[in-house]
Structure 1
């Protein structure tokens, strides 16, 4: 007990001593700091985010003052860094966003030569892709160099801009562009998945996520799974499979399937007729395209229907042709125009448009319950409307209507009659003639070409409401010669 009392007494003495007034002799000097004004403030970098679109310029002009009035500020030096790289050594930042997308870490370092003290200002640049949503145009200039234009829907009153893909030159002789809408975490979070084909390029076919505008699947001759030594990949046509990354392409007259970064062996690779698919000769794809496909063989002047043997065989392995069904004696002296999958009378069919002189003929390829071609019938005849030229022709699967454009008019006809009626007529002052026609997401894009125009942008774009057929935007001479269109709003 005596020992415990002594310990308690010692503890009280220590506490009293520690709580007594500190009478020590200390000297404090204020430190002259640089105070930054004119920039976003906040306790965390997430509160210091500067948003700008790709190719836009960010200009920051902060001001600086000392924390101690009258202090020397003549020996300040500045370093601006983005992603760790020095981009400016001036008191202001003028930065053009043309190298990366996304959130980039940045900082301003101010060194005070008078005090030897550095001051850091940390922030982010959030570089967005303005071309994530919009109207896309693949075009070519007078030298056949490929150009990608986009009229973004993320900015009001925008026109068509050259949509540069960082580090990926497009090449020459563009072929086409297609795409599909993709969704993120909700229906309000969507973007475009694009496929672009250019005949002569480092990567003639590539797929791209429009959010970052960076190719994520690339195809060239080295992608071929067969004998690369004798293979040259120069696509002349593409078709993107719905709801997947699979692309159908024609190169050297043969049909190839592109998937997961590899180009498979050509369809009918042992074909004794040595088929040749002409420009626009590939039939449109559908949900069952992994099992059967169709195209026109210009060398043998016949329609070819091909499949993989059965639905339980290897998909995309088109090794069987049903030439006995599509016998060319049924369409003598007729030349191929186009074909497309058609869902007519709830049955799987392909529809074809042929011509002879000014006359048009349509045929329907039917399938059995075992999904084998078993019928090929002429279903309608008609006459080419307007000036007798076919500048663009398109079959709409949802309606089973043909759309044909020539001059400044788009005509429409049922698949049953081929009796074309005027559907849309461009304004009288629209330059040139119709060359491309694309529907999607409630909009209709029509492209024209004006070869007599003295400027470089000989292409014009007209955008309609597809439901009311009201002209919403007329953009004459806004792009160069159009090769392909895609609506990705």
Structure 2
């Protein structure tokens, strides 16, 4: 009897419940959501140039907001890029409706997103696109210039048409944190191998003034204080240290001269700039070194360099990864043309491939105005030439260079360039720039000579004092023909500061 009562009760309750559900149908209000319908003017690939302004202005349409009140939404521009640890992460580019900024993303192609969130509903809509960043400041001549007695880096940037665009004040134009102070000294770049320190830089672009020397990030030109050259040096650093010369010897190997001391670096063996190598172990004496480095930079066999000992007026040699230098033994009397202990002052020295590769040095007699040319093979130490230089007005020469193919001595005075043939002892004026003043001459030594074929062209940098400071500098390059032929103007560039040092950023 109880079971029957319970069954009837259950049936009654079930009927009541079903009746309640039936009555509740249609009592809810369903509101249409504000949906994203279209985003126009957002290309599938956004191309931006590093260091220049990018502007993308999407046209957005929502279903319930035909006039589009942008205050009702939040925005996010993002991309996936390397996290510096071998992986990737999402980076936020901007949080405004439009993407309008100076592009600071390293050149490359990235998966990117544009997101719009409805504040009322909290619904986020994300649209994918490709962000392609190109770097016009990728390759070209980097110029350490003098502008009102202050250092400034300008650039001749190689463009897609094969020409060069002038970029004044490269650091400012790229938003670099580095502010140069002091007078210009040097600029140089080479593949250093991965350097110690927090910056994880494997390619060095070094900028030097008479107050300090530092490298910058080679693609973005960003800078941190730990990029200062002193962070690559172990042990104590002389006060006010800066580099006069940095020169690559081989792969991830280099020499540096600063504060009249010579230093050596080799990444493979973890040898960093530390105690000066300008020291003769057999004499247990240091010496002051002239700011020149001689030696074949294209060979790893019997790798070495020639330095000049200013203290004792002699040539010395550094070999391999030794921590000191050695003196040079004079050849037998029959082969000797001069003593490696010259007793003279060094005005200029360079290694050139002429005659199979030789060190050319211009020496000055400290007791007279006479200048001498000494040539020798830096590996074998075989001497090939020694004689007084009788070139026109050579005692007043300001800048020197040696033709790598022909061995001519090139020198400049004021706005004129002269060519001296050591064999015939003849001089020819080859450039006359009138009232303009030459600030630098050089045969540039490209690292990839197969790709870059202008190593035999003479570069003459000059400036016009009548033009505005900072844009009054120019460079002419000349083909140097044999048999003392007239120079042939190859290229001309202008519109930058007074050039004191150059380097080419190869790619």
TM-score by length of 1: 0.71
What per-residue deviation string (whole Å, max 9, x for no partner) do you get for residues 30-89 of structure 1?
A: 97423111111xxxxxxx332222221111122122457x85733642413345566555
Match of 1:58 among 50, 54, 59: 54
- Equivalent runs, 1:286-365 vs 2, <5 Å: 286=297, 287=299, 291-300=303-312, 302-308=313-319, 314-322=320-328, 324=330, 334-343=344-353, 345-346=355-356, 349-355=358-364, 359-365=370-376
**1:221 is matched with which residue?**
230
Gaps of 5+ in 2: 1-29, 80-89, 193-201, 447-451, 482-486
Q: Does the CA contact (< 8 Å) of 1:177 and 1:486 recur in 2?
A: yes
CA–CA distance in structure 1, aligned partners of residues 387 and 424 of structure 2? 5
The residue matched to 1:39 in structure 2 has which SS? coil
What per-residue deviation string (whole Å, max 9, x for no partner) do you get for residues 176-225 of structure 1?
A: 2234699xxxxxxxxx96542415667x254864x555689956334334
**1:263 is matched with which residue?**
273
CA–CA distance in structure 1, aligned partners of residues 304 and 96 of structure 2? 64
CA–CA distance in structure 1, aligned partners of residues 479 and 42 of structure 2? 44
CA–CA distance in structure 2, aligned partners of residues 224 and 472 of structure 1? 39
Distance verdict in 2 for CA 1:386–1:454, change over 3 Å: farther
**1:123 is matched with which residue?**
129
What per-residue deviation string (whole Å, max 9, x for no partner) do you get for residues 305-347 of structure 1?
A: 2244xxxxx5344432126569769856x5322122245554x
TM-score by length of 2: 0.69
Cα displacement (A) at 1:418: 4.7
Distance verdict in 2 for CA 1:101–1:454, change over 3 Å: same
**2:4 is matched with which residue?**
none
Match of 1:282 among 293, 301, 304: 293
Q: Does the CA contact (< 8 Å) of 2:50 and 2:103 recur in 1?
A: yes
**1:49 is matched with which residue?**
45
CA–CA distance in structure 1, aligned partners of residues 123 and 35 of structure 2? 9
Q: Is 1:234 the counterpart of 2:254 in the alignment?
A: no
Cα displacement (A) at 1:168: 4.6
CA–CA distance in structure 2, aligned partners of residues 28 and 99 of structure 1? 43
**1:5 is matched with which residue?**
none
CA–CA distance in structure 2, aligned partners of residues 453 and 213 of structure 1? 29
Distance verdict in 2 for CA 1:38–1:292, change over 3 Å: closer
Q: Does the CA contact (< 8 Å) of 2:190 and 2:205 recur in 1?
A: no
Q: Does the CA contact (< 8 Å) of 2:104 and 2:220 recur in 1?
A: no
Cα displacement (A) at 1:138: 1.4
**2:5 is matched with which residue?**
none
CA–CA distance in structure 2, aligned partners of residues 405 and 264 of structure 1? 37
Match of 1:148 among 148, 153, 157: 153
Match of 1:470 among 489, 493, 497: 489
Distance verdict in 2 for CA 1:421–1:82, change over 3 Å: farther
- Equivalent runs, 1:6-45 vs 2, <5 Å: 32-40=35-43
Gaps of 5+ in 1: 1-26, 41-47, 183-191, 309-313
CA–CA distance in structure 1, aligned partners of residues 247 and 214 of structure 2? 11
Cα displacement (A) at 1:134: 1.4
The residue matched to 2:426 in structure 1 has which SS? coil
CA–CA distance in structure 2, aligned partners of residues 290 and 128 of structure 1? 41
Aligned Cα RMSD in Å?
Answer: 4.1
Q: Does the CA contact (< 8 Å) of 1:380 and 1:418 recur in 2?
A: no
CA–CA distance in structure 2, aligned partners of residues 97 and 207 of structure 1? 18
- Equivalent runs, 1:58-207 vs 2, <5 Å: 58-67=54-63, 71=66, 73-74=68-69, 76-83=72-79, 88-98=94-104, 100-103=106-109, 106-113=112-119, 116-142=122-148, 144=150, 146-155=151-160, 158-164=165-171, 166-179=176-189, 195-199=205-209, 204-206=213-215
Distance verdict in 2 for CA 1:402–1:143, change over 3 Å: closer
Cα displacement (A) at 1:361: 1.8
Cα displacement (A) at 1:387: 8.0
Distance verdict in 2 for CA 1:72–1:126, change over 3 Å: closer
CA–CA distance in structure 1, aligned partners of residues 301 and 415 of structure 2? 34
Q: Is 1:481 the counterpart of 2:507 in the alignment?
A: no
Q: Does the CA contact (< 8 Å) of 2:397 and 2:413 recur in 1?
A: yes
Q: Which moved more, 1:135-144 or 1:465-474?
A: 465-474
Q: Which moved more, 1:30-39 or 1:243-252?
A: 30-39
Structure holding more strand per residue: 1
